[in-house]
Amino acid sequence: MSNWRTKTLQDFRVFLYSEIAFLILVLLLILILATNVRSQTQATNLPGPSIREGNRAMDDYDRTINRMKNDAKAANERRRNLFPQINEDFQRIQVIHNEIVRMLQPDKTLNFDRLAELSEDMKKRVARLRENLALPQAEKTDAPLSHTQIIDETQVKKTIVALHDLIVEFVGNPLFKNLGVIDAKVIETASENLGEIINTSDEIKREAKVLSKSARK
């Protein structure tokens, strides 16, 4: 009887050890499978090259937009601080314009020396105004005007009329009604307009000096 119990106990132990070993093996398999699934999931969630490139482009775009906003704010702050001088030049440009245009009246004659002086003052005022407004210099308007071959009083009057048209457009620009304007098109138009005024004023000065010298001969 004792031998039977001993044998039964041994058989039970063998069975128990076998079950434990089996359970351990199953647990190991489950852990291995779980690790593989997790690795595959993480690999799937990683962004591909195209996604990373897209994210990088968006980051660059955001930085560019923020820089443009900061530049615009700085320009607006500069305009406000320099408003007294900006306003002075703005008003003076119109006064100079009016005096020049009055020379075109039938009962008036062109005073070439005075015209050269006024156009030089106009050029300086406009250049300083553009600088104080922190406007970009438009390349296509900063190039010197082509000089006409014939310089006479009629030609000077044509150039004065061209200057008049530019001043009228310049005065009507929304930027000069609200210095806080940051519209790119408005700013570009103002910059181009001021560049053309500078060139046209310079041309009037040149023509006036040529005719002034001729009148003294």
* Structure-block tokens of residue 189: 């138009």
Quote the tokens at residue 180: 């806080």
Of the candidates 113, 124, 139, the one whose C-alpha atom is nearest the C-alpha of residue 212 is 113
Q: Is the pLDDT at 30 greater than 80, yes or no?
A: no
Q: pTM for the full model?
A: 0.61
For the chain, the structural domain boundaries read 53-216
Query: What average pLDDT does this structure show over 114-120?
Result: 96
Predicted confidence (pLDDT) per residue in 120-169, tens digit: 999 999 999 998 888 877 665 455 556 656 888 999 999 999 999 999 99
Binning pLDDT at 50, 70 and 90, where does residue 173 land?
Answer: confident
pLDDT tens-digit profile of 61-89? 566 656 655 555 665 666 667 788 988 99
